[in-house]
Structure formats: C-alpha cells, structure tokens
Copies of this chain bind each other. A is one copy, B any other.
Amino acid sequence: MRILVTGGAGFIGSHLCDRLLARGAEVWCVDNLRLGRRRNIAHLETSPHFCFTKLDVLDEPALTTLFADGRFDAVFHMAANSDIAAGTANVQLDLELNQLTTIAVLKAMKAHNVSRLFFASTSAIFGETDAVLHEDFAPLKPISFYGASKLAAEAYISVFAHTFGIRAVVLRFPNVVGERATHGVIYDLLRKLETDSGRLEVLGDGKQSKPYLYVGDLIDAMMTAWDKADAPFVVYHAAGIENTSVREIAEIVVGAAGRADTRVVFTGGDRGWPGDVPRFRYDISRLQALGWEPQRHSTDAVRHAVARILANGF
C-alpha cells in the first residue's frame, strides 16, 4: 500500500505517518513546512519505506509530477491551515489552504486513478449550537472561515465521490492535543508561562468547554474509520468522552509548569477569539459502533498532552 500524506510534517500528519509506517505502508509525505516542521518527521527519514518532499499542494505542476511518480493507492489529505484565529483576518487563507488544496488533491486523484481518500474535517463546520452534534446534524452555520472552508471541502469530496468513483472517509476532528502541536490552548499557555511564570493570561472567561482528544486516540479513530468505512462516502465524529473547560486546562498547565503562586487571569468574554466556538458536544456513537473507543477521557487527554509536550519540547 503506497500512501500519500499531505501535511505529513504537521502535528497530526506526523503522528499519522508514524502509524501508517508501523502498519507496513509505504508513506510519501509532502508538506510546504508552513506549519509543519521537519523535526516532526526526522526520526522517520532513515526508513526505506518513508519519503519526504517539500511541496505545496497548490503548486499544480509539482502535484502532477508527484502523482505521476508516486503511483499512490490512497491519499490522506491532512494539509490545512489549522490556526482558526489566523483565518479570521484573511479570507483567502482558509479558502486556499483548506478548500483549494482539497480540490487540487481530488483533481489529481481523478487524473491519476487514485480512488481512496481520507479527509481531516472538523467540528467547526457546525458553528454554535447547544445540540449534541451527530454526523447528520443541521443546520450547518459555521462562524469561522476555517469551518466554512472545511465544509466546502466536504461538499466537493461528495461530488467527486458520486461522480468519479472516489471512495472517501471524512473524520471530523474535535480539539486534538498532544506533542508536536504548533498552536492551540495548551501550547499557548505553556509559552506564556515560559515568558512569565508568575502570571498566566487566559483568553475568554475560562468557561469555554470542549471535548479534547489525545492525538494517539485520534490516530486510532482514523484507522478504524479507514479500515471499516462501509460506504463510498462516509463521515464520522471522534472526540474524548465528556468536555474540559479552559479553566481546567489552565489549572492543569499551571500544575505541570507553573509555580505555587502563579496567578491565572481571564481576559473575559465568552470566547477566545472571533470564530471560536466556545462550547460544543459531540456524538461519537457512529464510530464507537465500529469498535473505536477513546482510551482517555477529555480531561485525561489534556493532562497527558501537557506531560508529553513538556517532555518532548515545544
């Protein structure tokens, strides 16, 4: 099995490369190194089954050459702008990096007869709602360009699946935490403590509440969805059990990396930044029915991620 992983040097992409290699696949990893880091895959580069190319998926000639050379059996399209806050300032950013990269990959797959796709989607497609979000929840009213661009990408995958026979698995990620993260609340708080261990400023009122998933559990979820998908175009949700508040995360971070007298200060407001969905709950029963179960509850995932990030360096 020869697999192309786009965004493979990124946070989640690099963990995915680890797993695919461990399962015996040949992995061709590409990344434009905008958010991805070469050091995330340094330990893989001696493997005869791993190959890295610095490449921007939006570079059409380069992508065509890659597909011609690669003769891939499948593509895991992980390349994306994953920094939601950055997208709010610039409509083009998520449009290009999330949606147009997906269309570029789909066109290349069609042209080179590659028939299997995994797509990394997001809970952000839904916007704000009190409902417990199952896969077929509506209305979809995204509040960030990140969410809109991922929803648009899913729509294009649906058309390619229907029209050109591409088989696609879409997994809508929740907040994913773990070592190699390049941003996100844990990373931000650790960086702030590094600068000033006496005072920790937390965005919002601390009541934001989301299900966090440890990256190892996410990769398990991806493999279950990939192995057991039972339709040509199928969508799953994965998340840790229960939610964790930002206040709890701040306390865990201070406990692990702060001082006994570190003061936690909240900036106020119900969310961290425009486009942030402050609270959501996820129905993961469809993927559980296939046999997947997160090994860590949401708050355990956060605690484990903090420990791993501190051990790993950031």
User: Which A residues are within 8 Å of any B CB, using their own CB?
Assistant: 88, 91, 95, 99, 103, 107, 125, 127, 135-145, 147-149, 151-152, 155-156, 158-159, 162-163, 233, 235, 274-275
Contact A107/B91 with A142-B159, A148-B156 known, Cβ cut-off 8 Å: yes
26 A–B contacts from the bound complex (CB under 8 Å): A88-B163, A91-B107, A91-B156, A95-B103, A127-B162, A135-B139, A138-B139, A138-B140, A140-B140, A140-B158, A141-B162, A141-B233, A142-B155, A142-B158, A143-B158, A143-B163, A145-B156, A145-B159, A147-B159, A148-B156, A148-B158, A148-B159, A149-B155, A151-B151, A151-B152, A159-B275
- In the assembled complex, the Cα of A246 lies from the Cα of B276 at a distance in Å of 47
User: Chain B nearest CB: distance from A21 CB in Å?
Assistant: 33
CA distance A99 to B144 in the complex (A): 16
Q: In the bound complex, do residue B143 and residue A155 qualify as a contact, i.e. CB atoms below 8 Å apart?
A: no
Q: Is the interface of A mostly helix, strand, loop or mixed?
A: helix
Most chain B beta-carbon neighbours within 10 Å: one of A88, A125, A159 = A159
**A149 CB, nearest partner CB in chain B, Å:** 8
Give how many copies assemble into the complex.
2
Q: Are B143 and A151 in contact (CB under 8 A)?
A: no
Q: Judging by beta carbons under 8 Å apart, are A159 and B143 in contact? A: yes
Interface centre among A103, A137, A158, A235 (most CB of B within 10 A): A158
Q: How far is the CA of A233 from the CA of B127 in the complex (A)?
A: 13
Which B residues lie within 8 Å of A125 (CB)? 155
The answer to whether A235 and B148 touch across the interface, beta carbons within 8 angstroms, is no
Question: How many angstroms from the CA of A141 to the CA of B157 in the assembled complex?
Answer: 9
Report chain B residues within 8 Å CB of A149.
155
Contact B141 A147 (CB under 8 A): no
Asked if B142 and A275 make an inter-chain contact with CB atoms under 8 angstroms apart, the answer reads no
**Chain B residues near A151 (CB, 8 Å)?**
151-152, 155
**Nearest CB in chain B to that of A138: its residue:** B138
- Cross-chain contact of A274 among B103, B142, B163 (Cβ < 8 A): B163
Distance, CA A147 to CA B155, complexed state (A): 8
Partner of A103, one of B91, B136, B144: B91
A274 contact set on B, CB distance < 8 A: 163
Whether B155 and A275, one on each chain, are in contact in the complex, defined by CB atoms closer than 8 angstroms, is no
Q: Which of B141, B143, B152 contacts A152 (CB 8 A)?
A: B152
Provide the residues of chain B in CB contact with A145, threshold 8 Å.
156, 159
**Minimal Cβ-Cβ distance residue in B for A104:** B91
